[in-house]
């Protein structure tokens, strides 16, 4: 539970140019006053994020859009009406006074109205835009609890609002509406089909030179332990082979059938996409902390409902060594 006094204190911290970690329905955000460049700079330093990577401006409601974006297309209004407050980020042309720190020097700005009640209270009481990347160090797994945030940042964050577990568990879908046709920059819990149904046109995939988005860099959302995606039927075989080599193995499985093998750690993930997403980052953190030699993830179904999950898992696996064939 977050009290009124805590919200007030968080607002005071934002006004003073400090950093506030807060829950959203997707993941925790690390927030700073988006209109205060030194505060945003502090945010980048705490995250260890390159200054050229833009951040999302969080707003209490769509009415404030005009303070941040111009030439807002009808498609943006339609998406906002349908999905805000909620886990959707829109890329729009920015008004000229938005700080280059927020936009990474681009002509566009990312905006989102989150639905989490604590985020809503914070934003409404603050009244302005809160620049907030996910509350994790650059390139690492996003935080879905206040405990994750504290472990990740310690005293580098002035205030952590504890709103319990983030409900969705993976970051918002990002749709770029600044160009001729809408582009899905990052898949999320709102599926491409749901967005297309509102737009009435197909989303295109990002071009290679699309706006810089660290969440779209190949290696991202990664635990420290090498992570490998393994086809469902081969997980056990693969784990056994590594165990024979004297390795300790952590498995994120879809099967609740937990084999008893020395040196094997096993988390059975929910078999529905929403449940899986909700637990994904907490499970990856838990498996990572065990300090095993490898994390094997049983590859989820390739169905559209799993697109955002498969996207994050593929990025978490990038940079990890290719698994030896058992």
Residues engaged in binding Mg ion (CB under 5 A): 134
- Nearest CA-CA partner of 232 in 271, 290, 181, 180: 271
By CB under 6 A, residue 130 contacts ligand TXA = no
Residue 146 Cβ, how far from ligand TXA at the closest point, in Å? Answer: 13
**Binds ligand TXA by CB under 6 A, chosen from 14, 19, 27, 292:** 27
CB 19 within 8 A of CB 157: yes
Rounded CA separation 251/103 (Å): 38
Tokens found for residue 88: 């959707």
CB 315 within 8 A of CB 222: yes
Nearer to ligand TXA, 206 or 270 (CB): 206
Binding partner of residue 172 among ligand TXA, Mg ion, none, CB under 5 to 8 Å per kind? ligand TXA
Binding partner of residue 108 among Mg ion, ligand TXA, none, CB under 5 to 8 Å per kind? ligand TXA
CB 312 within 8 A of CB 280: yes
Residue partners of 310: CB distance under 8 A and separation at least 6: 299, 300, 302
Nearer to ligand TXA, 32 or 236 (CB): 32
Binding to ligand TXA by CB under 6 A, coded x per residue (else -) over 68-107, reads ---------------------x-x-----------x--x-
Nearer to ligand TXA, 89 or 120 (CB): 89
By CB under 6 A, residue 163 contacts ligand TXA = no
CB 161 within 8 A of CB 30: no
Rounded CA separation 123/114 (Å): 9
What does the binding site for ligand TXA look like in residue numbers (CB under 6 A)?
A: 24, 26-27, 29, 53-56, 89, 91, 103, 106, 108-110, 112, 114, 132-134, 171-172, 174, 185, 211-216
């Amino acid at each position: 539970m977050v009290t009124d006094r805590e919200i007030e204190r968080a607002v005071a911290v934002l006004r003073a140019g400090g950093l506030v970690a807060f829950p959203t329905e997707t993941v925790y955000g690390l927030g700073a006053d988006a209109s205060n460049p030194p505060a945003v700079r502090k945010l980048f330093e705490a995250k260890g994020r390159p200054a050229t990577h833009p951040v999302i401006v969080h707003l209490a409601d769509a009415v404030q859009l005009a303070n941040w974006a111009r030439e807002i297309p009808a498609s943006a209004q339609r998406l906002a009406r349908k999905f805000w407050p909620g886990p959707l980020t829109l890329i729009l042309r920015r008004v000229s006074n938005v700080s280059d720190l927020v936009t990474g020097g681009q002509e566009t700005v990312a905006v989102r109205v989150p639905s989490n009640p604590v985020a809503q209270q914070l934003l409404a009481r603050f009244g302005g835009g809160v620049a907030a990347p996910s509350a994790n160090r650059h390139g690492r797994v996003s935080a879905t609890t206040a405990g994750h945030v504290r472990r990740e940042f310690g005293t580098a964050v002035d205030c952590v609002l504890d709103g319990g577990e983030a409900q969705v568990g993976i970051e918002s879908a990002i749709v770029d509406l600044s160009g001729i046709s809408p582009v899905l920059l990052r898949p999320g819990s709102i599926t491409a089909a749901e967005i297309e149904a509102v737009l009435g046109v197909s989303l295109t995939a990002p071009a290679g030179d699309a706006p810089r988005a660290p969440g779209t860099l190949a290696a991202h959302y990664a635990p420290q332990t090498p992570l490998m995606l393994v086809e469902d039927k081969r997980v056990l075989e693969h784990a056994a082979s590594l165990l024979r080599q004297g390795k300790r193995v952590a498995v994120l499985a879809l099967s609740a059938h937990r084999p008893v093998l020395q040196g094997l750690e096993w988390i059975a993930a929910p078999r529905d996409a929403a449940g899986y997403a909700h637990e994904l980052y907490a499970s990856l953190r838990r498996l990572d902390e065990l300090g095993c030699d490898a994390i094997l993830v049983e590859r989820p179904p390739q169905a559209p409902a799993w697109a955002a999950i498969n996207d994050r898992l593929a990025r978490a696996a990038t940079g990890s060594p290719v698994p030896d064939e058992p």
